[in-house]
Amino acid sequence: MRRLLLSLCVATLGTSLAAGCGTTVGRSGHSGGGVGSGGNNNNGNTGNNNGSNNGGGDDGGGITPDGGISNNCGVQNFMLVHGNTPDLLIVQDRSGSMSDDANDNPLSGAKDPTSKWIQMVNAIEQVVQTVNTIDWGLEMFSSDGQCGAPMQPDVPVGANSGAAIKTALDASTPNGLTPTAAAINAAVAYFGGMIDNDGHPKYLLLATDGEPNCGAGGFGADDAGAEMAVSAAATAGIHTFVVGIGGNTGADQTLTTMAMDGLEPNTTAGQKPYYSVSSTQDLVNVLNTVAGQIVSCSYALQMAPQNPGLVSIQSNGMTVPHDTTHMDGWDYGPNDLSIIFYGQACKDLQQGITTSVSAVYACPPVS
């Protein structure tokens, strides 16, 4: 489980002031005290901004001797748990037809840069090594040049798995048939022992360029088997994103049904329920879209800020605008108990561009 820490300065009584929290100049009279450590003079004389003179009470700010409350503020740190990191296992077709180009024209070999295989490999390697807000894994099928599916993923799901996935893909070439049902069933079995143990949400991303085969007797269409496998995964709590590779997969209806049964269809207007890709950039876009759907941009607060208007949010040291229109920036969730990022600010979180988030609660102005 990854966590981004968000430090929230909140007005409190009798606590020391941390760097970054707003400061005020002490007033004369019983409000007393400057900001820092304060002195032992309880007469409420005028304080200054470093608290070195005439603090209002022994702690340099807080409750004054006559029961009044000073204008000094303190800091309280919150650890915000961003949520359990999603587990995403890429179930990648490496059947022999992946050696062809996007229009299914034969090429000199799978390593041809225009082959479907290289196009997909380049996209996967790019995204899994840059998007660190997801725990990635890889399972390729077939596993034996015929109808076999691996008993375990080629790369287990885990943090910082991008390099291992690249190594596995670079060492592989397309060969064999398309045992889609067996591959999905194997992925579900792999996740089965983890679902109740680690609390991470589980997802599959099935990427295939053709109709499922390896049905009864080891050959022939197996559309129904693949559809049943995706439905069983959904019943087990594992949603599936479906990607069709190439201009003519020959399995449009099957991919559409699997996308709907997987509970994560493409909802873009005018497009098919499954994600259709024909190039490296197409798949990069899809992988980033998937990341955007499964990585949350909401951070829970343990308590609502006393004065919500005094909170400033920073991302990687830069101020994020408070945007109540929810176009690009942040805003409070219901009852001010969460901070939600929108637009590009959300995308930066989902893609791992943002690595630190902080919030500063400034001191109220002196009245």
The 10s digit of each residue's pLDDT in 274-312 is 999 999 999 999 998 998 889 888 887 777 888 888 888
Give yes or no: residues 275 and 315 share one domain: no
Listed residues 294, 324, 348: the one ending a domain: 294
Reported pTM: 0.70
pLDDT of residue 297: 86
Give yes or no: residues 270 and 350 share one domain: no
In-domain check, residue 309 = yes
In-domain check, residue 254 = yes
Is the confidence at residue 132, as pLDDT, over 80?
Answer: yes
Condensed to tens digits (0 to 9), the pLDDT of residues 184-223 reads: 999 999 998 675 567 788 999 999 999 999 987 667 789 9
Alpha carbons 235 and 259: distance in angstroms, whole number: 14
* Counted domains in the chain: 2
Listed residues 272, 294, 316: the one ending a domain: 294
Specify which of 39-53, 122-136, 204-218 reaches the highest per-range mean pLDDT: 122-136
Give yes or no: residues 264 and 352 share one domain: no
Give yes or no: residues 218 and 334 share one domain: no
Condensed to tens digits (0 to 9), the pLDDT of residues 220-268 reads: 789 999 999 999 999 999 999 999 999 888 899 999 999 999 999 999 9
pLDDT of residue 364: 64
In-domain check, residue 322 = yes
pLDDT of residue 317: 81
Domain that holds residue 263: 87-294
Q: With helix as H, strand as E and coil as C, how does the chain read?
A: CCCCCECECCCCCCCCCCCCCCCCCCCCCCCCCCCCCCCCCCCCCCCCCCCCCCCCCCCCCCECCCCCECCCCCCCCECCCCCCCCEEEEEEECCHHHHCECCCCCCCCCCCCCEHHHHHHHHHHHHHCCCCCCEEEEEEECCCCCCCCCCCCCEEEECCCHHHHHHHHHCCCCCCCCCHHHHHHHHHHHHHCCHHHHCCCEEEEEEECCCCCCCHHHCCCCHHHHHHHHHHHHHCCCEEEEEEECCCCCCHHHHHHHHHHCECCCCCCCCCCCEEECCHHHHHHHHHHHHHHHCCCEEECCCCCCCHHHEEEEECCEEECECCCCCCEEEECHHHCEEEEEHHHHHHHHCCCCCCEEEEECCCCCC
In-domain check, residue 77 = no
In-domain check, residue 47 = no
Give yes or no: residues 244 and 322 share one domain: no
Condensed to tens digits (0 to 9), the pLDDT of residues 140-176 reads: 999 999 999 999 999 999 999 999 999 999 999 999 9
Give yes or no: residues 130 and 244 share one domain: yes
